[in-house]
Amino acid sequence: MPNVNPVRVCHSLLKFAYPEGVWTGLCENCLESTDKTRVKVEKEELAGTPGKCKLCGSKTDLYPVELRIPNFSKGVVTENTMLCKKCLDAAGESYVKFKREQAHGHRHH
**21 vs 23: CA distance, rounded Å:** 7
* Residue 30 pLDDT level (bands cut at 50, 70, 90): confident
Q: What is the pTM assigned to this prediction? A: 0.75
Q: Where are the domains of the chain?
A: 4-101
| pLDDT tens, residue by residue, 32-83 | 888 999 999 999 888 899 999 888 888 999 999 998 877 788 888 888 999 9
How many other C-beta atoms can be found within 10 angstroms of the C-beta atom of residue 17?
Answer: 8
